[in-house]
Amino acid sequence: MLLYLFISCFSIIFFIKSLTLKPLPPWATEMRLLSPWFRKDVSFFLSSRLIKNILGLGYFTTVVSKMSLKKMSFTSKVDNFEEVEESAMSILDLPDLVLECILERLPPAALCSMAGVCSSLRSRCISDHFWEKHMKKKWGRIIGPAAYREWQWHIALRTRKDSSHLKQGKPKGLMRVLSIVRPSWWIKSKVDDSSKQCSLPDDSIMSWFLALETGRFWFPAQVYNRENGHVGFMLSCYDAELSYDPRTDTFQARYPPHGRRAVAIENYVPWERLRAPPFDTSPHDLHISDCLNELRPGDNIEIQWRRNKEFPYGWWYGVVGHLESCDGNDNYCRCHNSDTVVLEFNQYTAGSRWRRATINRKEHREEGNEADGFYGGIRKLCSEEEISTWKCLWPSEILE
């Protein structure tokens, strides 16, 4: 008798629990952080839906009341109900091409709002076709192959965790009794979290966009003038892991440890000081230069430099200078014919040991010593945008 009462009570509890509303998927709650104008989009959407529902409910109530007064037959009620349904215009009634053109013009927050309306619109709005444009427009300048590879590893790790979560033993003790009363309860408790995630595929571009936009995903990139423009890093660019802060529209940067130096963290890094790595290589790898024979005085370059062999390389801005034997006259300059290439870093004073460096055009690999550091590979800057970025970061005072 006691066991029967116990089973009956739990059956009622589980039945009541099954009537509760299901929570929104995680990506729906994260949409709040997409942009400052998210509330405006959602408010407009909810208001329009509320007005439409009120008007539709009032019209439907009027029709039903008239039908009851006239004592219409069941068949006539069904016909009138279908007429009411057919008279309501929906956005899904638009031709596919027209609907696609509308969705293509929506900003990310509005596209997320549309995805929360119904399953039909959700399947359209989460399409990579729409999100690829938004990803390229906002994140394309600082997202490179290394960041994409990191995201693939992130997906694989999360998938592995979800699968291991499902591979658990059979219920024991009290849970075994409950599973007999309601077998689906034990299964639901195991797969509930993964079923929510399935509403938005992990490998979709929208999922990646939301992970970047909300700051949940740390990705590799490079930072100009690291550590708030520390004097020791002026006109340099170093690798770091970044996380976006949507509240301030800036980034948090984590610089990897090297030597005795611990992890350095910098907050409020603006977009202007970020870029995607120019090469998909480790910051400890020497870049093999392929432009040495092309270098002439006046060319803008970046060169790898590190304090010692335990440190990662950073990219430093400089220009190709003239040999001491050359007076700088372009009509008589033959510096480009010499095997020696002079590199100038004009952010330093003329007497500074960091002002000039020389490399061998034919045999250059890594040159330097523990006192002055080590110079690595060179890349010639041909893009006016890159050159302009470096010049905008020029220090206000000449460095010693």
- Dump pLDDT digits (tens) for 82-120: 554 555 678 888 898 999 999 999 999 999 999 888 889
- The pLDDT value recorded for residue 165 is 57
pLDDT in tens, 140-160: 999 999 999 999 998 888 777
- Looking at mean pLDDT, say which of 174-178, 273-277, 353-357 comes out highest: 273-277
pLDDT band at 257 (very low <50, low <70, confident <90, very high): confident
Residue that the structure tokens 């024991």 belong to: 172
**DSSP character for 142?**
T
Query: Which of 50, 37, 206, 213 has the alpha carbon at shortest distance from 110?
Result: 37
The values of phi and psi at residue 172, to 5°, are -130, 160
Give the model's pLDDT for residue 363.
87
- The dihedral region occupied by 367, where left means phi > 0, alpha psi between -120 and 50, and beta the remainder, is beta
Structure confidence at residue 266 (pLDDT): 95
- Taking only the tens place, the pLDDT of each residue in 14-58 is 444 443 444 445 555 555 445 444 444 444 444 444 434 433 434
**By the 8 A CB rule, do 314 and 305 touch?**
yes
Lowest mean pLDDT among 70-74, 136-140, 343-347: 70-74
Task: From 351, 361, 353, select the one nearest 323 (Cα to Cα).
Answer: 361
pLDDT digits (tens, 9 = 90+) for 159-204: 777 666 555 555 555 444 434 444 443 334 433 444 444 457 888 9
What's the pTM? 0.70
User: Contact at 8 Å (CB) between 114 and 206?
Assistant: no
Read off the pLDDT of residues 7-23 as tens digits, 9 standing for 90 and up: 555 444 444 444 344 44
CA dist 316 and 233 (Å) reads 9
Where exactly are the structural domains of the chain? Answer: 140-158+202-276, 297-391
Exposure of 169 in the CB half-sphere (CA atoms within 13 A): 5
